[in-house]
Amino acid sequence: MRKIELTPEQTDYLVQHFGDMEKKELAAHLGISLPTLYRLAHALQLDLPGQLNKIRLRPDQLDWLVKHFKDRENEFLAYKLGISEASLHRLARRYGLQKSKAFLKARSQDGGRTSIYYHRKRDDGFIPKKGDPVRPGSEKAWFRAGVRSVDRIGKRREAERIRKSAASRAATRMNEAIRLRRGLPQLTKLRIRTLPKEAYAERYYLRKRGYILDNAQLVAYWTPDTLRCPRKEANPGVYRFEQAV
C-alpha cells in the first residue's frame, strides 16, 4: 500500500479544520481519499467523532485491517485485533472498508458454512443447516396438506385468529374509505364502497337499460339505442341524465 505523506502546511490545515469541516470536503481539499483522511487523522491522534473514540488502533494494526478486511471474516479480524465485532463494524464504516465481490460470492455459495456462522447452537449442541428449523418444535406450525388450522392450533386459538383477522381487515377498509373521501389514492387493492347502497342498485338497473354511466361525475348518458326510463329521468336519484353527444 502506497504511503500518503502530507506537507507541513497540509498537516496544519488538517489539524485545524478536521473538527469543523465536512470530511469529504476536507479530503477533496487535501487531494486524498476519505479512508486516507481518517487514517491520517487517527495517526495524528485527532478527536474522531462517535464511538470510534473508544477504540484506538495502532498504525500497524490499522494498515493490517485495511489490507485484510476485504477477504477475511469479521470474526477472525475482530479476534486478531482484540476488539468486538460491533467495534469492527464501526471501524469499517468509518474508514470506508468493504468486502470484495469474490469474498461475498464465495460466502453465498457456501450455504452450510454461512448457516453455521449465522445460526446459534441449540441447547443440545446441534447446529442447524440451511433450511432446517432454527427453533426446536417450529416444524409443528408448518403447513401440511389436509390439515386445517383449527386442527393444528385448536378451536379457541382459531376463533381468536379469525376475530383478529376480521378486525384488521375492517380497520384497513375504514382507513381506505377515509383516504378516498379525502381525495387520496388507495394503499391497497381492496374494492371500497364510496357510494350509498342505493347507488349500486341504480347503477345495475341503468346499465341493463343501456345507459352510458360516468361514475366519477354521476351522469347517465342516453343514446338512441337506450331503453329510456321516463320515470327515472323525471325523478333522478344518484345519477342525473343527459343526452350523449
Contacts of 207 (CB under 8 A, 6+ apart): 213
User: Which pLDDT belongs to residue 160?
Assistant: 93
The per-residue pLDDT for range 67-90, each reduced to its tens digit, is: 999 988 888 898 888 888 888 888
Strands 219-222 and 212-214 come out as antiparallel
User: Which pLDDT belongs to residue 191?
Assistant: 85
The per-residue pLDDT for range 46-69, each reduced to its tens digit, is: 654 443 445 667 788 888 998 999
Please say if the pLDDT value at position 134 is more than 70: no
Q: Are 73 and 106 contacting, i.e. CB atoms less than 8 angstroms apart?
A: no
- Proportion of the chain in helix, strand, coil states, percent, rounded to 5: 55, 5, 40
What sign does the dihedral 77-81-82-86 (CA atoms) show?
negative
User: Which pLDDT belongs to residue 115?
Assistant: 55
Domain ranges in the chain are 8-113, 148-192, 197-243
* Grid cell for residue 222: 342516453
The arithmetic mean of pLDDT across residues 192-217, rounded, is 83
What is the residue-averaged pLDDT of the chain? 79
Q: Are 223 and 244 contacting, i.e. CB atoms less than 8 angstroms apart?
A: yes
